[in-house]
A and B are shown apart, each in its own frame.
Chain A
Amino acid sequence: MRAGILLFPGINRERDMVLAVRQSFGTEPRIVWHKETDLTGLDLVIIPGGFSFGDYLRCGAMAAQSPVMRAVRDHAERGGYVLGVCNGFQILTETGLLPGALLRNAGLRFLSMDTMLKVERNDTVFTAKYGKGEVFRAPMAHGDGNYTADEATLDRLEGEGLVAFRYHDENRNGSARAIAGVYSPNLRVLGLMPHPEDLVDPLMGGTDGKPLFDSLAAA
Chain B
Amino acid sequence: MKPVDEKLAKSFGLNAGEYAKVLEIMGRVPSFTELGIFSVMWSEHCSYKSSRVWLKELPTKAPWVIHGPGENAGVIDIGEGMAAIFKMESHNHPSFIEPYQGAATGVGGILRDVFTMGARPVANLNALRFGDPKLPVTKRVVDGVVRGIGGYGNCVGVPTVGGEVNFHPAYNGNPLVNAMTVGIAAQDKIFLSAAAGIGNPVVYVGSKTGRDGIHGATMASTEFDASSEEKRPTVQVGDPFTEKLLIEACLELMQTDAIVAIQDMGAAGLTSSSVEMAGKGGVGIELNLDDVPQRETAMSAYEMMLSESQERMLLVLKPERSEMARQIIEKWDLDYAVIGHITDTGRIVVTHKGVVEADIPLAPLSDAAPLYHRPYIEAPKPEPLGPVSSDMSLEAALLKLIACPDLCSRRWIFDQYDSTVGGQTVKRPAESDAAIVRLEGTNRALAITTDCTPRYCVADPEQGGAQAVAEAWRNITATGAKPLAVTDNMNFGNPEKPEIMGQFAGAIKGMAAACIALDFPVVSGNVSLYNETEGKGILPTPAIGAVGVLEDAALARGIAIAPGQDLVLIGATYGELGRSLYLREICGLETGAPPVVDLAAERANGDFVREQILQGNIAACHDLSDGGLLVAVTEMALAGNTGADLTQADTSPAFCFGEDQARYILAAEDAEPLLTAAFAAGIPAQKIGHTTIDECLTLPGGLAISLTVLREANEGFFPAWFA
Contacts and interface: CB of A to CB of B under 8 A. Distances in A.
A96 to B, nearest CB: 24
14 contacts: A9-B241, A15-B440, A16-B422, A19-B440, A49-B421, A54-B242, A55-B241, A110-B150, A110-B417, A112-B415, A112-B418, A143-B154, A204-B426, A205-B426
B244 A19 contact: no
B241 A141 contact: no
A141 B421 contact: yes
A219 interface: no
A110 B428 CA distance: 17
A109 B416 contact: yes
B157 A12 contact: yes
B421 A56 contact: no
Given A51-B244, A204-B420, 18 more contacts: A9-B241, A9-B245, A15-B422, A16-B422, A50-B157, A51-B157, A51-B240, A54-B239, A56-B241, A109-B416, A110-B416, A110-B418, A139-B420, A141-B154, A141-B421, A197-B423, A200-B423, A204-B424
Given A9-B333, A195-B420, A204 B425 contact: yes
A203 B438 contact: yes
Nearest to B332: A9
Contact of A111 (B241, B415, B423): B415
A99 to B, nearest CB: 27
Contact of B423 (A16, A50, A53): A16
Interface string A131-149: 0000000010101000000
Contacts of A12: 155-157, 244, 421
Would you list the 5 A-B pairs with minimal beta carbon distance, nearest first?
A: A12-B157, A54-B241, A16-B423, A141-B418, A51-B155
A57 to B, nearest CB: 11
A214 interface: no
A7 to B, nearest CB: 9
Nearest to A16: B423
Most buried by B among A49, A113, A141, A197: A141
A110 B154 contact: yes
A204 B239 CA distance: 30
- Most chain-B Cβ atoms within 10 A of its Cβ — which of A10, A55, A195, A201? A10
Nearest to B158: A12
Contacts, number: 89
Nearest to B419: A112
B553 interface: yes
B554 interface: yes
A10 B420 contact: no
Please classify how large the interface on chain A is, using the bins under 10, 10 to 19, 20 to 34, 35 or more. Answer: 20 to 34
Nearest to A11: B157
Nearest to A12: B157
B412 to A, nearest CB: 9
A203 B436 CA distance: 10
Interface in A8-39: 9-10, 12-13, 15-16, 19-20
Interface string A102-127: 00000001111100000000000000
B167 interface: no
A54 B240 contact: yes
B416 A112 contact: yes
A94 interface: no
B414 interface: yes
Contacts of A50: 157
Contacts of B244: 9-10, 12, 51
Contact of A16 (B147, B421, B553): B421
Interface string B232-251: 00000001111011000000
Given A9-B245, A110-B150, A203 B420 contact: no
A56 B420 CA distance: 23
Given A10-B244, A10-B245, A54-B240, A15 B423 contact: yes
B417 A112 contact: yes
A198 interface: yes
Contacts of A55: 155, 241
Given A54-B241, A203-B438, A203-B553, A113 B415 contact: yes
A19 B244 CA distance: 20
Contact of B420 (A53, A54, A198): A198
A10 to B, nearest CB: 5
Contacts of B425: 204
Interface in A191-213: 195, 197-198, 200-201, 203-205
